[in-house]
Structure 1
Amino acid sequence: MQIVATFEHTVFLEMALSQLKERGISDLFALPLDNRTEERRLLDTLHYSDGATLMGKGMVLAALLSVVGASRGFELEWGPVYWGLIGGASGFVTGVAIDLFIHKVAKKKRRLLKGKRSEVILIINCGETDAAWIEPLLWEHLALGLAKME
């Protein structure tokens, strides 16, 4: 039987490994995952989308400012059509700039403050009798996930 568990790379993982070795389980394999080194893409493609968009606030501001520009355009020299287009374009550019700032600066700081670390995958080969006490031991040491394969 194999037990596969994921852990954060913390002291709890080391404690679980030492307790497993003390109880005679020597057939284990711990594999640390690498952290992402490249930045996430800002522009989505047809086959890749992470759910974040840069155009949400831009579209809302474009609609609002085009209405305001068109209504004020009746009093201005160029007329409502041109001022509506100018308001829409300036609202879209402002919204995209706000979203770009949020994604590049604010969320990057939040990611760095969180301190996201890579996980460790632990694979244990054991018998069915050992699996009865190994599973609770791994949960006690804050395993993120656990699976058993026979």
Structure 2
Amino acid sequence: MMQIYAILENNIYIEMAIATLEKNGIPKASIYAVPLDNRGEDRKLFDGLHRSDGTSLIDIGVALATAFSVIGTSIGFELAWGPIYWGLIASFIGFVLGVAIRLFTEKVLKKRKRLLKGKHPEVILIIECEKTMTELVENILWKHFALGIAKVK
């Protein structure tokens, strides 16, 4: 006997895969479906020491700080405090503006996109079958859009 584990999205293809397996001689008692729960909490915006989501909040801020400091320095030659102070002031303004833009895109725009797209929970299918049936079961699962398959003897 072998066990085949497959992960599928929770949609109509699971029902179709189970029906096809039953038509091909796998009894209902040998098929077990376990739905996975979605994460209840939202993802955190700021990264921690041991976790990072791969997005940076300061990338636009650093770019705008550089651009604003060049402009502030060149304008500062004609102003009272001089180019160094005006370059630093403009750099700070550019950095704050860039971080504000990035926070707005992460909190508002990407949250809307996540809500529209939605999260699809996944289901683990566990199928017990004879070694001779494993190739057939795998082909059926792949045809019904399995995300991944594992075999255990």
TM-score (norm 1): 0.92
Q: Which runs of 5 or more residues in structure 1 are unaligned?
A: none
| Distance in 1, Cα, partners of 2:120 & 2:53 | 20
Instruction: Using the TM superposition, name which of 109-118 and 72-81 deviates more.
Output: 109-118
Aligned to 2:5: 4
| Distance in 2, Cα, partners of 1:120 & 1:130 | 22
What are the superposed Cα offsets for residues 73-99 of structure 1, whole Å, 9 maximum, x if unpaired? 111112112211110111001100111
Q: Are positions 1:83 and 2:83 aligned together?
A: no
What are the superposed Cα offsets for residues 37-73 of structure 1, whole Å, 9 maximum, x if unpaired? 2111111122111111100000010111011111111
Kindly provide the amino acid, as one letter, of the partner of residue 127 in structure 1. Answer: E
Displacement, 1:20?
2.5
Aligned to 1:134: 137
Aligned to 1:15: 16
Q: Which runs of 5 or more residues in structure 2 are unaligned?
A: none
Secondary structure of 1:65's counterpart equals: helix
What are the superposed Cα offsets for residues 18-40 of structure 1, whole Å, 9 maximum, x if unpaired? 33334233222211111122111
Secondary structure of 1:82's counterpart equals: helix
Identity %: 53
Aligned to 2:104: 101
Kindly provide the amino acid, as one letter, of the partner of residue 91 in structure 2. Answer: G
Q: Are positions 1:72 and 2:75 aligned together?
A: yes
Displacement, 1:6?
0.8
Secondary structure of 1:146's counterpart equals: strand
| Distance in 2, Cα, partners of 1:77 & 1:45 | 42
| Distance in 1, Cα, partners of 2:48 & 2:137 | 44
TM-score (norm 2): 0.91
CA contact (8 A) 2:26 2:129 kept: no
Displacement, 1:142?
1.5
Secondary structure of 2:125's counterpart equals: strand
CA contact (8 A) 2:5 2:127 kept: yes
Moved >3 Å (runs of 4+) = none
Within-5 A mapping of 1:30-69: 30-69=33-72
The number of aligned residues is 150
